Amino acid sequence: MTGGGGRVDGPLVLGIETSCDETGVGIVRGDQLLADAVASSVDEHERFGGVVPEVASRAHLEAIVPTLERACSDAGVRLADVDVLAVTAGPGLAGALLVGDAAAKALAVALGKPLYGVNHLAAHVAVDQLEHGPLPEPAVALLVSGGHTSLLLVEDVTADLRPLGQTLDDAAGEAFDKVARVLGLPFPGGPHIDKQARSGNSVAIDFPRGLTNRRDLERHRFDFSFSGLKTAVARWVETQQREGVAIDVADVAASFQEAVCDVLTRKAIDAATSRGIEDILIGGGVAANSRLRAMAEERAAAQGIRVRVPRPGLCTDNGAMVAALGAELVARGRTPSRLDLPADSSQPITTVVA
């Protein structure tokens, strides 16, 4: 595997991620990625149309040891070679977080190595250094996943991330998943909408852009709202069905996706230009979306702003992002966590290390 082209020395850092439905173990040295093993329980949640916490926790328990073994084998290292451990401490599903936390603490004690309990969202920001080298700071980060949608001012990814705005209701990924369900597409819906949209007309239906009119912008300039959009899609589909009109899934997918990407990119660029910041980092599962990547690139370039988005496999949850943040914490001399660090399902972004 290739690294970010920057530091290839430094301690061997193993990162564990279990905040949602992916059991991830990543191994890095500096900003060089050595292994990124992921076991997903997504198929087990499909029939429920969303992640079931108890099912996710059990799946993590079953997957954690084999995933650790696979990561070590992929990286060509032994557990005894690991210098530093990092684990997602939050935010996420409490029971799921506990599995990774327990594993990381056990390893830290057995190996006698320091442990960092890190913020999942900060890890989504840090992961890009594995692909594109040292992070630009300050930067505006747009985090878009199944559970979160926020804009952050990143002064220092290890210590100073400030919330600028967030979703007032559904997360962007949640909106993708719910709209996919309405369209009869499998869970998780994001990748399926992305695929359908490629053959659809993005201006076929004029869906609403939440919190973009002048009055809303006064109070919610950098906030998002996707529940109105989700309802508008559902209403549109219901009306067509009632009238016996066949639904063009590709057109609905493309028009919905366009509305989401329009708002996300507009607000991210506004956040950057209003502060004179020249770099935007995009992370989280929805950052895998092909239209979001293209639109962000195009609109930012027009404003002289650079956009960095990791490859899709590093956008969705994985252990490499946790290891990447761990490596950065070590490089900047941050103090490790105590061994009784809590798994905090609602850990705020202002707490990078628990």
Which residues of this protein are in contact with ligand KG4, per CB under 6 A? 20, 145-147, 173, 176-177, 188-191, 194, 284-286, 288-289, 316-317
Nearest distance in Å: CB 64, ligand KG4 = 18
CB atoms within 10 A of CB 16: 29
Q: How far is residue 212's CA from residue 241's CA, in Å, rounded to a whole number?
A: 30
Nearest distance in Å: CB 148, ligand KG4 = 7
Which amino acid is it at 229?
L
β-sheet with 149-156: strand ranges across: 160-166, 149-156, 139-144, 279-283, 306-308
Q: Phi and psi for 336 in degrees, rounded to 5?
A: -65, 170
Nearest distance in Å: CB 202, ligand KG4 = 14
Structure tokens at 251: 């057109």
Nearest distance in Å: CB 22, ligand KG4 = 6
Closer to ligand KG4 by Cβ: residue 82 or 286: 286
Nearest distance in Å: CB 244, ligand KG4 = 30
Closer to Zn ion by Cβ: residue 4 or 146: 146
Give the one entry of Zn ion, ligand KG4, none that residue 119 binds, where binding means its C-beta sits below a cut-off of 5 to 8 angstroms depending on kind: none
Q: Phi and psi for 346 in degrees, rounded to 5?
A: -120, 35
Give the one entry of ligand KG4, Zn ion, none that residue 24 binds, where binding means its C-beta sits below a cut-off of 5 to 8 angstroms depending on kind: none
Which amino acid is it at 207?
F
- Give the binding site for Zn ion (CB under 5 A): 145, 317
Closer to ligand KG4 by Cβ: residue 176 or 224: 176
Give the one entry of ligand KG4, Zn ion, none that residue 30 binds, where binding means its C-beta sits below a cut-off of 5 to 8 angstroms depending on kind: none
Closer to ligand KG4 by Cβ: residue 177 or 223: 177
Q: For tokens 């770099």, what's the residue?
A: 279
Closer to ligand KG4 by Cβ: residue 139 or 197: 197
Written as one string, the DSSP assignment of 240-284 is HHHTTPPP-HHHHHHHHHHHHHHHHHHHHHHHHHHHT--EEEEES
Nearest distance in Å: CB 11, ligand KG4 = 26
Which amino acid is it at 262?
D
Nearest distance in Å: CB 29, ligand KG4 = 24
Strand extents, DSSP E, 46-108: 84-90
Sign of CA dihedral 124, 130, 132, 136: positive
Closer to ligand KG4 by Cβ: residue 19 or 29: 19
| Burial degree of 292 (CB within 10 A; 0-12, 13-18, 19+) | buried
Q: Phi and psi for 25 in degrees, rounded to 5?
A: -130, 120
Q: How far is residue 241's CA from residue 247's CA, in Å, rounded to a whole number?
A: 7
> CA of 277: how far to CAs of 55, 130, 224, 273, in Å?
42, 22, 20, 6
Closer to ligand KG4 by Cβ: residue 119 or 145: 145
Closer to ligand KG4 by Cβ: residue 82 or 93: 93
> CA of 114: how far to CAs of 11, 97, 104, 107, 326, in Å?
11, 19, 10, 10, 10
Q: How far is residue 137's CA from residue 153's CA, in Å, rounded to a whole number?
A: 9
Nearest distance in Å: CB 189, ligand KG4 = 5
